[in-house]
Amino acid sequence: MPEPHKEDLADDPYSIDTNDGFNIKDEHVSSVRKVAFIVTPVLVGYTFGWGFTGHWNHTDQMSTRNWCAEMAVLMTDFKHGANIGLLTPLYVIWGGVPQSFTSRLVGMNWSLCVVSWPMMYVLRPANDYKRNHFHLNQQTDVGIDAILQFWCCGLAWFIAYSMMITRSYSVRHGWGVYCCASFPRGIVFRLSFMCSMMVWTDWYVSSFLFAYGRLDIPGKEAVPLLIFGWKRFKYVTKLLLSTDDCPWKMWSLFPNTLYVMLQLNANVAQAMVGVQDISQMVFFIIVDALQFIARSVLLARTGMKQCPKLFSFVLEKQLQNVVVPLPKLAAASGDKTAMRIMQALMVLLEGETLTSNLCFLALYFLNWGTLLQDNYAWITVPLKSAWVVGVFFLIDLIQDLIAARVTDKFSNWTYIYAAEGWSHKRHRWQSWCMYHLWTTHSLAVGGYLVKNASLWEHKAISLPIYLYWHPSPAAYIHI
């Protein structure tokens, strides 16, 4: 895939490297458009993304005597591999634009997923189904980490060495060129490998945090802080480092930012509704409110005149964790204004993607908890009440309304909300595949809805099991 020429970017409808940035037209965006932006990922993910099938689609309860179940496992593994294996790198590097779905990329990556996933999950010994989790009989466990590492390396190599790449957005500074910025293939290899490895790492860490918060052991009160801290680490690796020097940053900046924020806040939203008592709920509300206040105050520069040195120090640290604006926006608006617009974008998406996740959980609990009376839904919401989800949703919606009074000062965000922007039909395939990927990740990946409920239901919630008896993801997914 050759790099587009500079003169072609102006005619590229998928490029946001323009002088106007996120202002594609002069108009006031209505509240209906803003609500539609929050609700659309939920509705598309729950229908087109097969979210309504929940545990039927990503079931963990299988039997070696049920051939229909075996076929369901095969199809689910292929689908899981295609989503996490193929779509994740496409959105990190190209933003999922139609130009990224070339036969070369799709064919090679799909072939690698088809080879790797059955080796990990389907072609395992029959005894792996018969493990007794009550007396920790794990002698038939299957180690699949080596295959996962082969898949990560192979995927990154295929993507980096199957196309022509030029260095366009690599970050340079007064000390020279950092890391692999001089090697465009090295950049793409790093981006692909890092996003794949983070899915694998998140499987372990998020599952551990879920268990740590559910067990009655000392220190579990700090779990909300650990969850927000792990979210920050994933933010830096999966968004900041993956976007700043991407060769196709003009395509990937907004789609990858939106996808990563949806995925990161899925963990946070599920942890919020998973509180076991009122004290945990209040603690989550306080931590979330403090983070919201910090983001809003730093964006509005409130208190900078009263305490300039401390405020400037904290602001500088936050701006170091904001994606660098695109060149044309920086040239047209100035470096400081362009950076503040990017800061406002992060504040806006931080709140609205969390609202989307809470809206998804409300629909999920209505479907699987209230109507179907499924035990997995009650494990996800231990208080077994919709008001828990409703309280968090209402608080976050109020935060979004307050944040809009600040973020709207820097842009009207018509690219995000207007009919000619992200909701235009040219972005439909791009956005719908993203919402499908987000739904699959929220349901099927370790540390999220189905896997956490499966661990709890089968009484496998014990920290020694996580740290020693379950050395591979096979022990998490096939319980």
Task: Give bridge partners of residue 177 from the DSSP assignment.
Answer: 172
| 24, 418 contact by CB (below 8 A) | yes
Task: Give bridge partners of residue 172 from the DSSP assignment.
Answer: 177
Among 80, 184, 85, CA closest to 122: 80
Give residue 100's pLDDT.
Answer: 82
Which residues touch 101 (CB under 8 Å, ≥6 apart)? 90
Which residues touch 130 (CB under 8 Å, ≥6 apart)? 64, 140
Mean pLDDT by 10 residues, the chain (479 residues): 45 84 83 90 86 62 43 52 66 84 77 71 46 42 64 82 73 54 80 82 82 77 84 88 85 91 91 88 90 92 87 88 89 90 93 94 90 86 90 92 90 90 90 87 79 72 42 45
State whether residue 374 is helix, strand or coil. coil
| 193, 152 contact by CB (below 8 A) | yes
Give residue 78's pLDDT.
Answer: 52
Give residue 419's pLDDT.
Answer: 87
Give residue 223's pLDDT.
Answer: 82
pTM above 0.75, yes or no: yes
The two tokens of residue 466 are 């996580």
| 120, 81 contact by CB (below 8 A) | no
Give residue 101's pLDDT.
Answer: 80
How far does Cα 337 stand from its chain's mean position?
A: 28
The two tokens of residue 248 are 């196709």
Give residue 394's pLDDT.
Answer: 93
Q: Please give the torsion angle defined by the CA atoms of residues 316, 317, 322 and 323, in that order, rounded to the nearest 10 degrees.
A: 80
